[in-house]
């Protein structure tokens, strides 16, 4: 019996060594051999005290060859664009343009982003203003509120323009899960290793380990989609060349509907076909916009909301390839404007100045306003806003 246990322990030891070697090799392979080429990774916020590394720059290329290539320069305070002075010069009004990667200007050079074009236009009209580009990839009202409170206000804005993106509804849900709050319920920080106020062991593993992150994306999330669609439904989706997340988003099955928020980053764009789910999550986004408004109001700083469309609303040939990833029909111009109607009603009820740029896009001459695959606005689209 003793000999049996010794052999079993030796065998277990061998298998443990093999497992450790496999995981180590897989980790190295995922870290050094895989390159996802996601341009949004470069515009993600890495620190809580600054948007980007101050006085730095980076070169970015679209994940689809030839779609765009640009350089971004970050000033000494970590914002994209030229430096500004502290304290603020007398007679100069400082506008902060707050938003996500569309505000940052993915795909456009420094001088062709929305904030840069706005500053140039106002200066040309004789207004002595500085427009600070406070765009950060993946941000939304909840993260913008925290950044306003902890970063932006120290730079003395006279006006904050919040550029609302149609993905913000989902982003608010995503970020709120990572929020760490104090005893009063106020958000202290966001932690990608937390879920609903508690550290989660698997999300912690995926944060530190490239192999775990790859395994999560390719295996765990696939199993989750199979659970929603069923094995047969998932395999049918693969055979038909469709994206599972798009099928889940468009499904009328009750289980898929309840799981839709997990996979549907563009839920707000579903309009009336998902109105019940949109209205379920819309109050969260309204709450954080109001927290932004009230935070600024206590300092006498006005808030203006600007809303812009994505390509599906402008024409059938805008964002025509990338839209298929989310299950939107190529070549079709979508006329369900529920998101714009909800924001218009909200802004009117709360007496927040609101600029809806959708009509300006619809009235503009035909041109490429959105990148065909990536979906961000071209410089021409930025000019419309």
Span 321-344, average pLDDT = 96
The string of DSSP letters for 37-61 reads: --GGGGGS---SS-SS-TTEEEEEE
How far, in Å, CA of 1 to CA of 384, rounded? 81
The predicted pLDDT at position 219 comes to 83
pLDDT above 70 (res 27): no
How do residues 126-173 score in pLDDT, each as one tens digit? 999 999 999 999 999 999 999 999 999 999 999 999 999 999 999 999
How do residues 83-126 score in pLDDT, each as one tens digit? 999 999 999 999 999 999 999 999 999 999 999 999 999 999 99
pLDDT above 80 (res 26): no
The predicted pLDDT at position 35 comes to 55
pLDDT above 90 (res 11): no
The predicted pLDDT at position 34 comes to 61
The predicted pLDDT at position 54 comes to 97
pLDDT above 60 (res 211): yes
**Cβ neighbourhood burial of 243 (10 Å; 0-12, 13-18, 19+):** middle
Candidate ranges 206-210, 248-252, 365-369; pick with highest mean pLDDT? 365-369
Percent of the chain scored above 70 by pLDDT?
Answer: 95
How do residues 241-280 score in pLDDT, each as one tens digit? 778 877 777 777 777 677 778 889 999 999 998 999 999 9
The predicted pLDDT at position 23 comes to 67
The predicted pLDDT at position 227 comes to 81
State how far the alpha carbon of 142 is from the alpha carbons of 59, 181, 192, 226, 312, in Å: 28, 13, 15, 31, 26
Confidence of residue 223 (pLDDT cuts 50, 70, 90): confident
How far, in Å, CA of 45 to CA of 50, rounded? 8
Confidence of residue 73 (pLDDT cuts 50, 70, 90): very high
Say if residues 71 and 57 touch (Cβ distance below 8 Å).
yes
pTM: 0.92
Nearest to 84 by CA among 154, 161, 164: 154
How do residues 43-54 score in pLDDT, each as one tens digit? 999 899 999 999
Q: Is the peptide bond before 45 cis (omega within 30 degrees of 0)?
A: no
pLDDT above 60 (res 36): no
The predicted pLDDT at position 385 comes to 97
């Amino acid at each position: 019996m003793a000999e049996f246990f010794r052999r079993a322990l030796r065998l277990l030891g061998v298998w443990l060594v093999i497992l450790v070697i496999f995981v180590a090799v897989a980790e190295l392979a995922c870290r050094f051999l895989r390159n996802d080429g996601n341009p949004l990774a470069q515009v993600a916020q890495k620190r809580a005290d600054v948007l980007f590394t101050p006085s730095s720059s980076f070169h970015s290329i679209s994940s689809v060859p030839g779609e765009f290539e640009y350089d971004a320069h970050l000033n000494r305070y970590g914002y994209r664009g030229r430096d500004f002075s502290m304290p603020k010069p007398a007679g100069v009004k400082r506008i902060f343009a707050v938003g996500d990667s569309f505000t940052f200007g993915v795909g456009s050079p420094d001088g062709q982003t929305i904030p840069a074009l706005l500053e140039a236009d106002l200066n040309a009209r004789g207004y002595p203003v500085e427009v600070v580009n406070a765009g950060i990839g993946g941000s939304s009202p909840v993260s913008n509120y925290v950044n306003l409170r902890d970063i932006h206000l120290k730079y003395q804005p006279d006006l904050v323009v919040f550029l609302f993106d149609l993905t913000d509804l989902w982003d608010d849900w995503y970020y709120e899960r990572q929020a760490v709050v104090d005893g009063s319920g106020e958000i202290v920080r966001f932690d990608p290793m937390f879920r609903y106020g508690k550290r989660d062991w698997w999300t912690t593993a995926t944060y530190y380990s490239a192999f775990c992150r790859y395994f999560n994306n390719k295996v765990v999330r696939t199993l989750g989609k199979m659970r929603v669609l069923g094995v047969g439904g998932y395999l049918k989706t693969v055979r038909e060349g469709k994206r599972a997340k798009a099928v889940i988003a468009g499904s009328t099955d009750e289980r898929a509907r309840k799981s839709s928020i997990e996979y549907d980053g563009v839920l707000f764009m579903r309009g009336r076909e998902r109105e019940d789910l949109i209205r379920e999550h819309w109050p969260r986004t309204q709450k954080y916009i109001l927290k932004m408004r009230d935070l600024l109001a206590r300092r006498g700083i006005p808030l203006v909301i600007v809303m812009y469309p994505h390509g599906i609303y402008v024409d059938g040939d805008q964002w025509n390839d990338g839209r298929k990833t989310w299950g939107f029909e190529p070549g079709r111009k979508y006329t369900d404007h529920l998101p714009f109607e909800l924001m218009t009603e909200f802004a009117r009820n709360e007496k927040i100045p609101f600029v809806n740029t959708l009509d300006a896009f619809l009235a503009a001459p035909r041109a490429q306003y959105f990148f065909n695959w990536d979906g961000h606005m071209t410089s021409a689209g930025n000019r419309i806003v």
